[in-house]
Structure 1
């Protein structure tokens, strides 16, 4: 079983919906939590049907901002416990595993409301004794190294969030992928990166899912990167990414050499074997170039 969490910054644009569809097709999450949808219930209903999800729950937008959505498939019973503009609290039941609790979080973006956010976590922690996991955009940092660029985060803010997490008996689930999940002014002198999105869980949750892993998905149409919570990495293996040849590689002189060395390495090999070997080598060689191209595009 798995969950996708994303601050999508609006689902009104077809580009965001297309990215969501591609991500769902690739990672196949059973549950999706979205924040800042900026969308009404009719729009969410259409997206839920398009993605093939049986159930959905919506917290309406507040004026011109906010909006939370929970989507789920038939697998595992989902029961909504409570909700507001900052969270959707729900329980999941699955045979042979039992019952546990999720809270999809969207923390207050205003710095002046941090104490409210920390007390909200403490209040949520007292509502149930089930194994518990929180995931989403907390709009908070725990360590100074979780921010790069701009003014350093005030120590009292780091300490306040950390103390709230400890008071709730929670621990950070860690991550695989990029360190930072949010950014602004990319490619400029004002570029700031922060780890605002994360997963937290109590010890009972960790005992129930000892092999869980949070993967940060690198490509996004939002200024936030999505999180993919995989409850059992041994079972839910990620699909192999399909190889794609980038036409821009042809302009690089090394491209010819990579292909030539693969093709002549074992001249007796079948043509399909040579093509496969060539694809692997090109992906290894060209991966860095693709990242460099993205950075140049962002700079332009």
Structure 2
């Protein structure tokens, strides 16, 4: 197991969630995905899970519009066996050859009364495990006063019980990189509250086995919770090789492409020489004009991350309004990108029609 994402998505049936999670999965390589508070079940939940591109999944469906936990994984992580589950956690055992690893993903109910028996249930799970263990998700409570901003500034009895539970089981907080808080509420400074409700814990065996493992708090997107990105064996990213030049059929959809060709084509040269010169013009145009969706998307993400880092320190109405605007604009860009890839994936169908051939059936399965 290499990379895991844990996220309280606050509704997996929302279009903005699906766009956000596709973007996250593309940007952050993920072997295991756990989503909480999905607000979905039955056939709808199955369709959404299938569309996320994982090989296997296990669901605890929502009760109406409340709760819901999904665990999805790729086949490369090994043999995954669901050991136990409830409406607040899933315990999975991952086996790779002779090695075994236990993963417990948690969505603690938002009210103290509903999660009153959770710590005892999880204690029974944790004490029954012999070997590496990781337990993480949305625990819906904090451990220390500095894990919140706003509110009354006191630890509740439930928070104290949670801290005692961690100490009793000798679990280790894996820490984090990125923004301090994982949940926020309030769009103006007067009502702003933020807490670290989501975290990843592990046993000593796990911490020693994966000493370089790290947890990153990703930016807030379509939920009031931030995704947690766990890298068990983070590697050093290398520079990707330069891609060879290829004509993109999607360029034909751009309103300025025809004019670019007319202005750039040198009719005095032989066709091979003219095409060779046109290649450099097209590469520059693709990078500076057609490729602006990708650049805008990354620019929005960088600014969202920057403003959320500042919100950890202090909050103003202007910053909160700016963040809301940026997230809304990012969702528009993600939707534009989705439409672009939709057109590119079906460009042959648009040209050639819906022919019942083996080629088109195979292309559909691959896509």
Normalising to structure 2: TM-score of the pair? 0.64
Which of 321, 325, 331 is matched with 1:296 structurally? 321
User: Which of the two has greater strand per residue?
Assistant: 1
Name the CA shift for 1:238/1:25 in 2 (closer, same or farther; >3 Å): farther
Contact 1:5 1:33 in 2 (8 A): yes
> 2:230 and 2:109 mapped to 1: Cα distance?
22
Name the CA shift for 1:157/1:202 in 2 (closer, same or farther; >3 Å): same
Which of 87, 90, 93 is matched with 2:92 structurally? 90
Contact 2:40 2:64 in 1 (8 A): no
Aligned to 1:68: 69
Q: Which runs of 5+ in 1 are unaligned?
A: 241-271
Contact 1:121 1:164 in 2 (8 A): no
> 2:7 and 2:304 mapped to 1: Cα distance?
26
Mean Cα deviation higher: 133-142 or 86-95: 86-95
Contact 2:144 2:155 in 1 (8 A): no
> 2:304 and 2:24 mapped to 1: Cα distance?
22
> 1:85 and 1:296 mapped to 2: Cα distance?
35
Contact 1:7 1:35 in 2 (8 A): yes
Name the CA shift for 1:155/1:86 in 2 (closer, same or farther; >3 Å): closer
Runs of 4+ in 1 over 6 A off after TM superposition: none
Cα displacement string for residues 92-151 of structure 1 (whole angstroms, at most 9, x for unaligned residues): 12248x111000001121134554233233222122212110010001111110010011
Q: Secondary structure at the match of 1:43?
A: helix
Aligned to 1:268: none
Aligned to 1:201: 202
Name the CA shift for 1:165/1:149 in 2 (closer, same or farther; >3 Å): same
Give the superposition deviation at 1:178: 0.5
Describe how 1:91-240 pairs up with structure 2 within 5 A.
91-95=93-97, 98-113=99-114, 115-154=116-155, 156-234=157-235, 237=237
Root mean square deviation, CA, Å: 2.9
Give the superposition deviation at 1:187: 2.4
Aligned to 1:260: none
Aligned residues: 259
Name the CA shift for 1:72/1:185 in 2 (closer, same or farther; >3 Å): same
Larger Rg: 2
> 2:19 and 2:66 mapped to 1: Cα distance?
21
> 1:114 and 1:39 mapped to 2: Cα distance?
21
User: Which of the two has greater helix per residue?
Assistant: 2
Contact 1:41 1:60 in 2 (8 A): yes
Give the superposition deviation at 1:208: 1.8
Q: Which runs of 5+ in 2 are unaligned?
A: 241-283, 288-294, 309-317, 326-367
> 1:231 and 1:124 mapped to 2: Cα distance?
22
Q: Secondary structure at the match of 1:61?
A: coil
Give the superposition deviation at 1:287: 4.5
